[in-house]
Amino acid sequence: MFESLTDKLQGVFKRLRGKSSLSEQDVNDAMREVRLVLLEADVNFKVVKDFTARVRERAVGEQILEGLNAPQQVVKIVSEELTALLGGEQAPLTFSHQSPTVIMLCGLQGAGKTTHAGKLAAMLRKQGRNPMLVAGDIYRPAAIKQLEVVGEQVKTPVFTMGDQTDPAEIAKAAVDKAQRYGNDVVIVDTAGRLQIDEALMDELRRVKAAVRPHEILLVVDAMTGQEAVNVAKGFNDALEIDGVILTKLDGDARGGAALSVKTVVGKPIKFVGVGEKMDALEIFYPDRMVSRILGMGDVMTLIERAEAAIDQKQAAEFEKKLRANKFDFEDYLEQMQQVRKLGPLDQILDMIPGLSGKVPKMPGASEESEKQMKRVEAIICSMTVQERREPTIINGSRRRRIAAGSGASIQDVNRVLTQFEQMKTMMRGFSGKGLGAMPGMPGM
């Protein structure tokens, strides 16, 4: 996510931090660099201009230039202003207390509406709500079927009336049914087009008038850069949206759309899509996003993912074992499988302060790490249960057998064994501090 932006901003800050005091000229130079970096990331020109002017004004105006930590303070101002640019506070969904809450999703074709209807339903179900999905795209062949497949994946009922009924009527009937059946949220998927056109906007306005949504969320594809912002502006002018779901941030989007949309359109990003799977949806927190963009990691999101994915009882059990020096390869294997549930490795690494942006991202690097994890897993799986419980019995001939069984070299096996021991030693040092649940990965 935003790798090149992060890299380049860190470069600018590193040069700033290298100075013991700052002159006005230093600030001007740094802001000129920041400006170029943001323009390259495809951030809207006017947004960039106002942003750098504001940072400059504050940096000079707050008379921090002579201060001891002037460079750090400039970085702090940049971080605060970026957060403001992204909307400041997290913008929550509005829920209705009497009737079912109606969420209408709109957007161009291929932006990710249907996928995100499913992801939203999954998230709401996790929060204890009882959503219903509504197939309101009656034009695209297979759109209804696609929503039905998604609905099945996230165990959410899908309301459809086929492709011959007017979408406004479908939406209305769906809300009536939800009321009767106790579904407290109705998520309406709507038709998209390749471009904004009057016929589409007309239809969406009729759907809006028919069900008076509590939330109109616009789904936009971050990969389209500035175009995403233009699209958002067009939809907002026609429909008055409440917020944006920015999708495909897991790809190599340069970040321009994320950084421009709130300022240009005036509507907050409420969610971001970070993958094709149904759990790849994040609530958008401006401050956390800035932390990631500035290469400072995002511990809060990591902790939340860990809480959702990791079995707490088991983690406590692991920690006890670590302390008693009884942590063995059986535990390790289980733990590795839990860590996997946190998501793709490169996304996790990006959230860890200090590692964020530091792990080289060559094309295929993430797949290489995943492959290495699989290799370690294969080695552990080739051990007998006894060997996993008592790694000390693994002598030369056992090592050869394990290597042959897992398709690894003896050196690989040796490395996993050595690093496992090192990790245990290291984790014993940490275990009193509550970090026992997350040891590093031997073999990597």
Say whether 112 counts as a known binding-site residue.
yes
DSSP bridge pairs for 247: 221
**CB 107 → ligand GDP: shortest distance, Å?**
6
Say whether 189 counts as a known binding-site residue.
yes
CB burial of 305-343 (b: ≥16 within 10 Å; e: otherwise) equals bbeeebeeeebebbbebbeeeebbbebbeebbebbbebb
Handedness of CA 204, 209, 210, 211 (dihedral sign): positive
**CB 343 → ligand GDP: shortest distance, Å?**
12
**CB 143 → ligand GDP: shortest distance, Å?**
7
**Which is nearer to ligand GDP, 59 or 218 (by Cβ)?**
218
**Which is nearer to ligand GDP, 87 or 192 (by Cβ)?**
192
Cβ-contact 216, 101 below 8 angstroms:
no
Say whether 248 counts as a known binding-site residue.
yes
**CB 364 → ligand GDP: shortest distance, Å?**
17
**Which is nearer to ligand GDP, 22 or 104 (by Cβ)?**
104
Say whether 52 counts as a known binding-site residue.
no
**Which is nearer to ligand GDP, 253 or 379 (by Cβ)?**
253
Please give the residue whose beta carbon sits closest to ligand GDP in the complex: 273
Distance CA 153, CA 146 (A): 11
- The DSSP result for 51-92, as a single string, is HHHHHHHHHHHTT-TTSTTHHHHHHHHHHHHHHHHTTSS--P
Say whether 191 counts as a known binding-site residue.
yes
**Which is nearer to ligand GDP, 144 or 383 (by Cβ)?**
144
Distance CA 265, CA 241 (A): 10
Say whether 425 counts as a known binding-site residue.
no
Q: Taking the mean position of all CA atoms in its chain, how far away is CA 367?
A: 18
Cβ-contact 228, 177 below 8 angstroms:
no
Say whether 401 counts as a known binding-site residue.
no
**CB 105 → ligand GDP: shortest distance, Å?**
8
**Which is nearer to ligand GDP, 273 or 439 (by Cβ)?**
273
Say whether 190 counts as a known binding-site residue.
yes
**CB 185 → ligand GDP: shortest distance, Å?**
19
Amino acid at 88: G
Query: Which residues here bind ligand GDP, judged by CB under 6 A?
Result: 107, 109-115, 192, 219, 247-248, 250-251, 273-276, 280
Helices (H), 247-352: 256-265, 286-293, 299-309, 312-323, 329-340, 345-351
Tokens of 106: 């709109």
Say whether 322 counts as a known binding-site residue.
no
Say whether 405 counts as a known binding-site residue.
no
- Round to the nearest angstrom and report the end-to-end CA distance of the chain: 23
**CB 301 → ligand GDP: shortest distance, Å?**
15
Cβ-contact 37, 287 below 8 angstroms:
no
Nearest to 420 by CA among 380, 384, 393: 380
**CB 241 → ligand GDP: shortest distance, Å?**
15
**Which is nearer to ligand GDP, 257 or 336 (by Cβ)?**
257
DSSP bridge pairs for 257: none
Distance CA 382, CA 389 (A): 13
Say whether 113 counts as a known binding-site residue.
yes
**Which is nearer to ligand GDP, 83 or 114 (by Cβ)?**
114
Tokens of 437: 């649940």
- Residues at the binding site for GTP are 107-114, 189-193, 247-250
Annotated binding residues, as ranges? Answer: 107-114, 189-193, 247-250
